Amino acid sequence: MILSGGDPTEREECYRKLMRKYWKVIAVIAASKVADPREAEDITQEAFIRVAGRFRHLRTPDAFDAYLRRTVVNLCMSHHRRRRVERAYLEHEGGRRVRAVDPPDVEGRDELRRALAALPMRQRAAVVLRYYDDLPEQRVAEVLGCSVPAARSLVFRAMETLRTTIGGDET
């Protein structure tokens, strides 16, 4: 059976034959190494995909089944390694308190949006570039076509106006 050359339909049919021939064997190997049947099936599919994708690079194409078996074993070991890392992470993080997330402040967001809209265009642009786009002052100045101190001043004045309008102390 040749998967590396010829007509794409011919290669596809060859691949189907290989799958029919080796699927059960590889699925049993995966199921014996992984407890979850769905995970075993995913590993089996992944093994076929990997070996078929590398078929033309196999040193001995006649040893397809050996490559396939080795691939499924490697994938099972990777699966267990990932699970071990996940468990260690969960054990480590499990002791931490989960911070309660407050519901979004829709009114506050709308108030901020209205206050931003009331700012002069250059001040609004300066604030958006500096805090929303997270640009450094130098880049804000370049975009606005002004000096860095002028950009800093625009941001400062805009923030002062927003603090006054909204009545908060945060930046």
For 26-63, the pLDDT digits (tens) are 999 999 999 899 999 999 999 988 887 777 676 776 77
Which part of the chain has CATH 1.10.10.10? 106-166
CATH 1.10.10.10 fits 106-166, yes or no: yes
User: Domain 8-94: which CATH class?
Assistant: mainly alpha
Average the pLDDT over 3-23 and give the result: 77
Q: Is the pTM of this model over 0.85?
A: no
Smallest CA-to-CA distance from 151 within 170, 127, 167 is with 127
pLDDT score, position 74: 94
Which part of the chain has CATH 1.10.1740.10? 8-94
